[in-house]
Structure 1
Amino acid sequence: MVGNEILPKLVRVFAVTTLMRRRKMKKIVALLVCMFLWSCLSTQAGYAKDEKKADWPKHISWSSPSGPKWTTAVGFTALIQKYTGVSSSALGPSGGTMADIQSLVSKNAEIAWNSNPSVHEAWIGGGAYKKMGPQKWIRALSGGYEAFWLIIARGNSDIKSFKDIKGHRWGGDVMIGSDLTDQTRDGLLKIHGMTKRDYKSFPITKFAELVDMMKEGRVDVVAFFAGTPSPYAIELATAMDLTWISLEPEAAKKVPETLYGHQAGIIRAGSYKGQTKDVIAAAHMTIPIVHEDLHEDVVYGIMKALFDHPDEMEAIHPSAKDFARKPATLQVTAPYHRGAVRYYKEKGLWTAELENLQKKILGQ
């Protein structure tokens, strides 16, 4: 009798235990499936968590001077942080191209804006980089935006062309020395058969000072590098009448042969208040560069964070439209980083021409 009562209880206990085990196994299997899918997605995105621990820095800094470069550096690092989960921010504003190069040398920054002409000089150890020697560690991430050397005169002055600056008060010579400003100014002076003795120089420490100098009447003409639109040019055009100095066609033709890494660019009419005609100006490409020691996975992850999201890049600053959708370009003066090459090959953007350029710059 007792045995007959115990047997059904044992059967029920066994059934319940079996059911619980099955449910537990289902949970374990479901958990394993989720972990597997997460691993696949993380690896596919290029930001695997284990890779970050091993290779990614705790923080990514983008060294940049003021102006549009600073605006884009702030916005682009926000994208890097958003899509990689790694803390990122802009570093600066810096003192210019040489300061940005030094930030990468000292490992204070992982990325920096720089101009093609300055990158070339640093790569070969020429010009302002003679004492430092060749900087063969420089690697490019992508193309960039076109920066123009704007030459703007007061509207009530008699300055209508570059040669007219003779005898006038000039604002634009950087007091602490700027390899790019010096290159461009000296090149244009040479093209026009002039020297620094032909004008009265009012040196500056940063381009932002030029706005007040013009407003207060301390100078007759200013010159500075900027993308389009430039906040300095917008402020000046809003505050006063200006004359936008355009290079003559013959002078424009001599820009590429006189100034390595430069070309004659066009600032379209209507870009600024009162600018009714196209303006021809010396221009160069500003590109993001990194140190060759930066891990390939890190650079690849940065490339995905930026160039997989061109709409968000373009929303940060109009200049991003120059390269957000076509990052791979032949207009670089340093070799591409291996992490960038990996990204371009994956996207089908790495061409035979780019491969030849890479080998040429590396001397292979």
Structure 2
Amino acid sequence: MRTTKGAGRLLAGVAAGAVMAATAAAAAAADAKLPGTMVWTAYDLGSSGYAEASGIANALMKKHDTRVRIVPSGTSIGRLLPVTTSKASYGYLANEAFFATEGTYDFAVPQWGPQDLRIVLGRLAGGGMSCAGDLGIKTPADMKGKRIGYVKGNPSVNVKTDAYLAFGGLTQADVVPVWFGSYNALKTAVISNQLDCFGSVTTSANAREIEASPRGLAWPEFAPENKEGWAKISKVADFFQPYRETAGAGISKEKPKDIVGYRYPMIVTYARQSDDEVYALIKGIDEVFEDFAGTTGSAQNWALNIAGKPPADAPWHDGAIRYLKEKGVWDAEAQAWQEKRLERLATVMAAWDEATDKYTTWRADEEKKGNKVNPEESWLKFWNDYRMEKGLGPAS
């Protein structure tokens, strides 16, 4: 939650970090130490995010004098709020990290706004469009006119779906959006021929059920060499990258698929978190990697050379970057991405402050005229319009 001017705070933090880094780096490397107790948040029990957070925590506690408690939550607010209020130090988050930095969806309300978040590590995951195999869909462009699944109240799913469509030059106007109340309903709808495609990971039970159904399963491919397509995806959200999947329903090492890579889960904290502590955490995780790498089928992707590189949903933390540089993972390309992402975050935070000031003036003028104003509805419209005016994209 924000109580001061965000952009000013962000820029001040960047400047201060640059001044202190040169004098403190050598001592910090020697003195960096994990705190005696840490609280992390994660997705619900049973999720891969919770399982991997538990695996990492157990490995750290066996080697270091630290205790970790994990607080599960099924909502984005539930995972981030404890970190915001400092009741937790780190969150194992998904795309809510992106929405929080942008002040969109759940975070577009006055109580939140753009959050000054940072990434410590982000496990690479693969996703794409799980499509019925009886339609001959081979590329995202082939989804034109097809019935595409969306989930009410689930922006993480919906934004990815819009991005996948964008690769093929499509929007919701070019397909038949079909809205459901839950994610699990999408699989059943495909099997019963009420739906054609929806966003999914390749290893889910849902995808395997579709593969075994009479309709079969197809994964439209996102060719890495299609620069135009990847540029279109980046306009929807800039945390996607090419990803060659070798495991999952209808996929193997012998028959891989070029789909879309993103980060889930990501270890996220605020920029205010101590550089030394973050340095100690990422170093500790790297040192115990082999002890938790078999926690899930995807846990191998926590390897530093995979999980320590952009793109991701927020900028990287300076403490993490220090260690990544020491290990030869962080390069000029990563630093260029970081600077661009920090600039974007500063722009969004400044826009929020400007919009807040203008909204306060507008609301006062409306009330003087005797016009009733619904604060929640009017602010969301005001913030959405202001973002569009500034070329930042919609708020929801």
Q: TM-score range by the shorter chain?
A: 0.5 to 0.7
**Aligned positions of 1:1-364 closer than 5 A:** 46-47=32-33, 52=35, 56=36, 58-64=37-43, 67-96=47-76, 100-107=79-86, 109-115=88-94, 119-125=97-103, 129-131=107-109, 132-136=112-116, 138-153=117-132, 155=133, 157-158=134-135, 160-161=137-138, 162=140, 170-171=148-149, 173-178=150-155, 180-190=156-166, 191-195=168-172, 198-199=175-176, 201-205=178-182, 207-214=183-190, 217=192, 219-226=194-201, 229-234=203-208, 236-237=210-211, 242-247=216-221, 249=223, 253-260=227-234, 261=238, 262-268=240-246, 271-273=248-250, 277-286=255-264, 287-326=266-305, 327-347=307-327, 349-351=329-331, 354=334, 357-363=337-343
User: How far apart, CA to CA, are the structure 2 residues paired with 1:355 and 1:158?
Assistant: 43
Indicate how the Cα distance of structure 1 residues 200 and 145 shifts in structure 2: closer, same or farther if over 3 A, else same: closer
Instruction: Write out per-residue CA displacement over residues 168-192 of structure 1, whole angstroms, 9 at most, x where no aligned residue.
Output: 6544x122231x3222323344544
Deviation, 1:204, is 3.4
After the TM superposition, which parts of structure 1 deviate over 6 Å for at least 4 consecutive aligned residues?
none
Q: Contact 2:161/2:199 (CA < 8 Å) preserved in 1? A: no
Q: Contact 2:128/2:199 (CA < 8 Å) preserved in 1? A: yes
Q: Contact 2:241/2:311 (CA < 8 Å) preserved in 1? A: no
User: 2:172 corresponds to which letter in structure 1?
Assistant: T
For the residue of structure 2 that corresponds to 1:88, the secondary structure is strand
**Whose radius of gyration is greater, 1 or 2?**
1
Deviating more after overlay: 233-242 vs 332-341: 233-242
Deviation, 1:315, is 1.3
Q: Contact 2:121/2:308 (CA < 8 Å) preserved in 1? A: yes
User: How far apart, CA to CA, are the structure 1 residues paired with 2:311 and 2:197?
Assistant: 28
User: 2:216 corresponds to which letter in structure 1?
Assistant: L
User: How far apart, CA to CA, are the structure 1 residues paired with 2:47 and 2:38?
Assistant: 23
User: How far apart, CA to CA, are the structure 2 residues paired with 1:208 and 1:165?
Assistant: 21
User: 1:337 corresponds to which letter in structure 2?
Assistant: H
User: How far apart, CA to CA, are the structure 1 residues paired with 2:93 and 2:83?
Assistant: 11
Instruction: Write out per-residue CA displacement over residues 134-188 of structure 1, whole angstroms, 9 at most, x where no aligned residue.
Output: 212x1111242133133232x4x436355665676544x122231x322232334
User: How far apart, CA to CA, are the structure 1 residues paired with 2:114 and 2:195?
Assistant: 39
Count of paired positions:
304
For the residue of structure 1 that corresponds to 2:300, the secondary structure is helix
Indicate how the Cα distance of structure 1 residues 160 and 351 shifts in structure 2: closer, same or farther if over 3 A, else same: closer
Deviating more after overlay: 286-295 vs 65-74: 65-74
Q: Percent identity?
A: 17
Indicate how the Cα distance of structure 1 residues 351 and 238 shifts in structure 2: closer, same or farther if over 3 A, else same: same
User: 2:56 corresponds to which letter in structure 1?
Assistant: F
Indicate how the Cα distance of structure 1 residues 306 and 150 shifts in structure 2: closer, same or farther if over 3 A, else same: farther
Which runs of no fewer than 5 residues in structure 2 stay unpaired?
1-28, 347-396
Indicate how the Cα distance of structure 1 residues 259 and 139 shifts in structure 2: closer, same or farther if over 3 A, else same: same
User: How far apart, CA to CA, are the structure 1 residues paired with 2:195 and 2:114?
Assistant: 39
Deviation, 1:308, is 0.7
The equivalent of 2:7 in structure 1 is: none
User: How far apart, CA to CA, are the structure 2 residues paired with 1:346 and 1:251?
Assistant: 32
User: How far apart, CA to CA, are the structure 1 residues paired with 2:226 and 2:303?
Assistant: 28
User: How far apart, CA to CA, are the structure 2 residues paired with 1:246 and 1:198?
Assistant: 15
